[in-house]
Amino acid sequence: MKTKIEEYLKEVENFKADKLESLEDFRIKFLSKKGLIPALFADFRNVDPSERKEMGQLINTLKNSVQEKIVSLKEKLDSGSDSKSGTLDLSLPVNASMGSRHPLSIVRNEIIDIFSRIGFTVSEGPEIEDDFHNFTALNFPEDHPARDMQDTFFIEKDPDIALRTHTSSVQVRVMESTQPPIRTISPGRVFRNEAISARAHCIFHQVEGLYVDTDVSFADLKQTLFYFAKELFGEETKTRFRPSYFPFTEPSAEMDVSCNICGGKGCNVCKYTGWVEILGCGMVDPNVLESCKIDSEKYTGFAFGMGVERITMLKYQINDLRLFFENDLKFLEQFKSTY
């Protein structure tokens, strides 16, 4: 029996396993019910009493060494399961593609950057708005047809709570809480109850601008927006202003830029006019200043508002607005930017 145990001990000492299956076979061979160690314990009953102490110790040593071997081999196999050699190769290239910014974020950040260079700060407001901030303070009289210009998603009636239809609501919040001089832009999401198509969506993004101080004139408005258009679309860009109507500005205008695709010669993007409309603007109506407790005798201001989707479509020649919301990687991966 002694020589048998010594042979087993040698076998255990020399045993190596390169996979978990062979380690399991090893365990079964020695420790299972019908394994070698239970067999030794069974034989132990026939051992001469004078040898019992020594044999008992030997069998226990064998049992312990089998158990230790299993634990240490298992640890080795588990930690090396990712690489056969059990070591990490830190020089391997990382197999993960870099993400990229969404085109709407790129353009929004660029717009913020352009205006912050001339002293505009960024302010934000809630996406769920009350009637006062979205309409009333902006000089939309109750039951006035101008409210129908923007199809609204109402959340509650009496008092009316709605998803904001434009970021002009933020200019009200800024004017309520700050006295002039005010120079701020408000980027954000807006919501309108419109059918989704290549040109319209029920969720889109705007950037609102507001400048209120003493002696602010329409010339300041024109020059600020002229600078903006050249920074965004290039030095050669021309602008023109057409009279328009918004309840919160008087006079109001829409600004066109020369088509950046055909350079003004005429193409299907500018509908062969050479011009594309990019924003609405005007001098802040004195009623709006007064609603926000700003003295309209002392201060004047200009405001403007633009759609980020529209500008992004022009800048990157994208012809379907729905692409912005589909999260298709093939589309999104095309946009690389430092913004």
Q: Considering only 23-31, 72-80, 103-111, 297-305, which stretch makes contact with ligand DAH by CB under 6 A?
A: 297-305
Q: Considering only 48-56, 128-136, 303-311, 325-333, which stretch makes contact with ligand DAH by CB under 6 A?
A: 303-311
Q: Restricting to residues 119-178, which ones interact with ligand DAH according to CB under 6 A?
A: 166, 168
Which lies closer to ligand DAH via its Cβ, residue 162 or residue 281? Answer: 281
Which lies closer to ligand DAH via its Cβ, residue 23 or residue 321? Answer: 321
Identified binder of ligand DAH from the candidate list 115, 163, 305, 311, rule CB under 6 A? 305
Assign residue 263 a region: left if phi > 0, alpha if psi is -120 to 50, beta otherwise?
A: left
Q: Restricting to residues 235-274, which ones interact with ligand DAH according to CB under 6 A?
A: 246, 249
Beta-bridge partners for 199: none
The four Cα atoms 111, 138, 251, 278 give a dihedral, to 10 degrees, of 30
In whole angstroms, give the CA distance from residue 291 to residue 282: 17
Question: Smallest distance, Å, CB 262 to ligand DAH?
Answer: 26
Q: Restricting to residues 276-295, which ones interact with ligand DAH according to CB under 6 A?
A: 280-282
Size of the site for ligand DAH (CB under 6 A): 11
Q: Considering only 17-25, 40-48, 234-242, 299-307, which stretch makes contact with ligand DAH by CB under 6 A?
A: 299-307
The pair of three-digit structure tokens given for residue 169, joined into one six-digit string: 């609501």
Q: 134: exposed, middle or buried (C-beta count within 10 Å: 0-12, 13-18, 19+)?
A: buried
Bridge pairing between strands 128-130 and 161-163: antiparallel
* Contact pattern from residue 30 through residue 59 relative to ligand DAH, giving x for each residue in contact according to CB under 6 A and a dash for the rest: ------------------------------
Q: Considering only 39-47, 72-80, 100-108, 302-310, which stretch makes contact with ligand DAH by CB under 6 A?
A: 302-310
Beta strands, E only, the chain = 121-122, 128-130, 154-156, 161-163, 182-191, 203-213, 239-246, 249-258, 275-284, 300-307
The candidate with the shortest Cα–Cα distance to 259, out of 229, 282, 231, is 229
Using the CB atoms, write b or e for 72-91: b if 16+ within 10 Å.
Answer: ebeeebeeeeeeeeeeeeee
Identified binder of ligand DAH from the candidate list 110, 129, 131, 208, rule CB under 6 A? 208
Instruction: Catalog residues that contact ligand DAH under the rule CB under 6 A.
Output: 166, 168, 208, 246, 249, 280-282, 303-305
